Amino acid sequence: MWFYSRNRHILLLYLFLISGSMLFGREVACFNDGWVFKKGPLSGNSLSLIQDPTLGHWQEVSIPHTWNAVDMQQNSANITEFRNPQSRFYTGDALYRKSFTPDISMKEKRVFLRFEGVGTVAEVYVNNQFSGRHKGAYSAFVTEITRLLSFEGENEIIVKVSNEPRADVIPVNNVLFGVYGGIYRDIQIITTGKVNIAVTDYASPGIYISQENVSRESADACITVKIENKTTAHKEIELVNEIYDSANRLKVKKMKKFNASPQGRQLVTQRLKVESPRLWQGVEDPYLYKSVTQLIVDGEVVDEVVQPVGFRSFEFRQGDGFYLNGKKYPMYGVCRHQDWLDKGSALTTREHDADLALIKEIGATTVRLAHYQQAEYVYSKCDSIGLLVWAEIPFVNEVTTHETENAMQQMKELIRQNYNHPSIFIWGLHNEVYSPFEQTIPLTEMLHDLAKSEDPGRYTVSVSGYNNINATANNNADIQGINHYFGWYGGKISDIEEWAEKIEREYPHHKVIFSEYGGEANIEHQKEDVGEIGDCCGFNRKYNETWGTKFHEIQWGVIARHPYLLASYIWNMFDFATPMSAQGGVYSRNMKGLVTFDRKVKKDPFYWYKANWSREPVLYLTQR
């Protein structure tokens, strides 16, 4: 593995948890095996549909799984056929089924199923009884199945899934990217005692670690634990919080006794001070501690949760840049979509590692995980390798006026599930949501207020595709992101210089991030003289790689001279699927990536950035 060995224990802990482990009083086991699958469409909501002979036979599948791994990325016989998406890729209902016999040791325990990602709407049934529903393809959810289990033999789990676009679930369409259907991330079965750290708090760890007074002299960790007592009587509980360094040496420990009511959820907070902490300094030194939280009843540890801790402070200084622990820090960024050619979104740690290795190789210091919550492993890996993370929800492209509740839910899930990752510095509220503005503006304001209430220690950002800082729907977050593709969707490449100088002059008090910039590059299209205006947009246009190289050479030269742009993000690190578009001779593909969809070819602009960003010596001849 290529991550820093001194932080290795945090990532190994993550792998340990997802593969099956026994913490004190809590068992977390992988639940990926033994599933069968049947694709719809279904004609109703009854569970009797699993016997519907028109649906064909059940087929064995491996989780992670998506039924759109091929059809959302495919070519088409002709452009007319392509314009009918319903004939090309399937969005709709499907069923997953699994039988298992619970161990008798679970009988006096609480039992939960945790799904890390199901696209898009999931209904869970246990032994033909409804257990839970979740709306949203990208965040985890938990359902408790304790009272639905039978210990007399096999139990049947059925998950009904649909990825049909809905006006009340973001994203509401497949325009900017494809929403792959299926159980495409890991499943866990979690067993706890009846006194436990909350599992169903929006699928969060049940523990929130906020940082205060961070310096090289000391740092305070304020740890809030959500505790549940599902017995029938008060329980005297001893709460223990410990922080260990990367060598597993105890740095600080606090204990607190309290009486837990059998009613409601209890919140208990402790403040721990670490003297002379080694700070988390991004890619330069991504040093991680770990927090261990235990509940003790009658001298026995009944539950335990472990979380990463990276002590750091950060600040955007208007017109100057980003400061990490008081030190100016370069924000060389790329955006990342989570899909791969012929795999869709059903990725394993192998694919995530490969992507992050390429992002590290190019010399990036920050990554925008666009446009949705990505795998938990990715955030953990960014913690350990030092990439600063922009995390966001999939409120993109269009507003229907029906998605408010779901957008708020997904924002809360994003924050609570990822609160403790030191790599995350900002929460993204929306991306290029234009009309009607009457809905975009109040919903963005609500998302900002929610994010600041849930986590006042991080920034918020909303993103506009207009190059006017004061455009409608902007400036309702802490920071404004601007997406602009000079020379591709209008003007010429070098227009960026005039634009940058103009916004610096006219909006000196605004904090602005250049959130997307890039140009299409098909490695099969080559031309010596390309000019500054790209051949956009259409299926028969030439998306010359040479034009993409020229674009980035000019654009980065300007960005590097303008610290007013507090950070910048290339769109995109990798080519990705766009099932509604046909461009540059390729169907269903956005080719703005610096690396091809199959990850086999690093395009010429990749080496331009590696030469400018990384500390490695680079020798590469373009237009080879």
Name the residues annotated as catalytic: 432
8-state DSSP, 465: S
Range list of β-strands (E), 345-473:
366-369, 388-392, 424-431, 459-464
User: What is the sign, positive or negative, of the torsion defined by CA atoms of 405, 410, 416, 417?
Assistant: positive
Measure the CA–CA gap between 617 and 619, rounded to whole angstroms. 7
- For residue 237 the two structure tokens come to 């509980």
Report the DSSP beta bridge partners of residue 312: none
User: What is the sign, positive or negative, of the torsion defined by CA atoms of 148, 150, 151, 154?
Assistant: negative
Question: Which of 588, 587, 569 lies closest to 578 in space, CA to CA?
Answer: 588
Taking the alpha carbons at both ends of the chain, their separation in whole angstroms is 32
Measure the CA–CA gap between 511 and 475, rounded to whole angstroms. 9
Neighbours of 326 (CB within 10 A): 13
Asked whether 399 and 435 are in contact (CB, 8 A), the reply is: yes
C-alpha distances (whole Å) from 624 to each of 159, 365, 523, 528 are: 50, 28, 11, 11
Q: Please return the burial class of 279, using the count of CB atoms within 10 Å of its CB with bins 0-12, 13-18 and 19+.
A: buried
Asked whether 336 and 391 are in contact (CB, 8 A), the reply is: no
C-alpha distances (whole Å) from 156 to each of 129, 182, 259, 421 are: 10, 18, 38, 35
Q: In this structure, what are the phi and psi dihedrals at residue 246, rounded to the nearest 5 degrees?
A: -70, -15
Report the DSSP beta bridge partners of residue 333: 366, 569
> What residue type is assigned to position 558 of the chain?
V
- For residue 529 the two structure tokens come to 């003289």
Measure the CA–CA gap between 143 and 166, rounded to whole angstroms. 23
- For residue 83 the two structure tokens come to 């314009």
Beta-carbon-side half-sphere exposure of residue 417 (alpha carbons within 13 Å): 29
Question: What is the rounded radius of gyration, in angstroms, for the C-alpha atoms of the chain?
Answer: 25
Question: Which of 460, 566, 476, 449 lies closest to 514 in space, CA to CA?
Answer: 566
Q: Please return the burial class of 597, using the count of CB atoms within 10 Å of its CB with bins 0-12, 13-18 and 19+.
A: buried
Asked whether 55 and 43 are in contact (CB, 8 A), the reply is: no
Measure the CA–CA gap between 150 and 33, rounded to whole angstroms. 20
Asked whether 574 and 355 are in contact (CB, 8 A), the reply is: yes
Q: Three-state secondary structure along 275-308?
A: ECCCCEEHHHEECCEEEEEEEEECCEEEEEEEEE
